Amino acid sequence: MENIALADPGAHLSIWGLFMQAGWVVKLVMLGLLGASVWTWAIVIDKLISYARIRVALNRFEQVFWSGQSLEELYRNLADRKTVGMGAIFVAAMREWKKSFEKGAKSPLALQTRIDKAMDLALTREMERLEGRLGFLATIGSAAPFIGLFGTVVGIMTSFQAIAGSKSTNLAVVAPGIAEALLATAIGLLAAIPAVIAYNKLSSDAGKIGVRMEGFADEFSAILSRQIDEKVAQKAA
């Protein structure tokens, strides 16, 4: 009976060895999944940093806004700056407010509607910025296991071809193909699991930030509504 020697199994069954032995299809699958994993972590780190910054910006704006400073003075300080979060919503509302009064707004209801629409548009833009690229995480989280499974199927097919070609069911013949298949699956899970966890975490954080901005927009709308009523009363008097 012919003996099949395995001089150094570790050299052939190491991760690098399995990658080099894999067919071009499996290699493309592995490289694609590794690239997706790297990009996933880049998005996660960037989002964590940007969310931390916007929380700081929200806290600072709220502190200044409720400090008693006049709306006109706050608007002058922020109008020419690049604002985010509540600051962007505030500037959009005040800009519409000033434009309307400069043009001689006559309908309080129409003015209130325009201001609300301006804040809604600013809020939508801020949410789009917050949720940008989160869809990629959701896609990787759902698709990566299936892409890895595709590599697994190709690896198993390679194993069967090796069995047929050698006419032997010796483990040394089928092990490389099976190991390649399992490696493709492992890389798929390596890309998918962090993506799913990060997507859920970041989506929750974005939602909480959005709720804070929406709450501010409602409060500021009520403040401007009272001022509109006061101006109408003054004109009537």
> For the residues of 98-166, what is the DSSP string, one character each?
HHHHHTT---HHHHHHHHHHHHHHHHHHHHHHHHTTHHHHHHHHHHHHHHHHHHHHHHHHHHHHHHHHH
Domain membership of residue 77 (yes or no) is: yes
pLDDT of residue 46: 97
Any domain includes 16:
no
pLDDT at 120 (0 to 100): 95
pLDDT of residue 13: 61
**Blockwise average pLDDT, block size 10, the chain, 237 residues:** 40 68 84 95 97 96 91 90 92 89 71 92 95 95 94 82 69 70 90 96 97 95 87 69
- Residue 110 DSSP SS3: helix
- What is the extent of the structural domain holding 108? 22-236
pLDDT value of position 228: 81
What is the reported pLDDT for 217?
95
Is 17 part of any domain? no
Q: For residues 178 and 130, give the distance between their C-alpha atoms in angstroms, rounded to a whole number.
A: 42
Give domain status of residue 214, yes or no: yes
pLDDT for the residue 59: 95
Task: Give the CB-side neighbour count of residue 57, counting CA atoms within 13 A.
Answer: 18
Number of structural domains the chain divides into = 1
- On whether the CB atoms of residues 93 and 227 are closer than 8 A, the answer is no
Q: How far is CA 236 from the centre of its chain?
A: 51
Residue 20: other Cβ atoms inside 10 A = 10
CB-count exposure of residue 62 (10 Å: 0-12, 13-18, 19+): middle
| The residue count for the chain | 237
Residue 6 lies in a domain: no
- What is the CA 204 to chain-centroid distance, rounded? 11
In a domain? residue 182:
yes
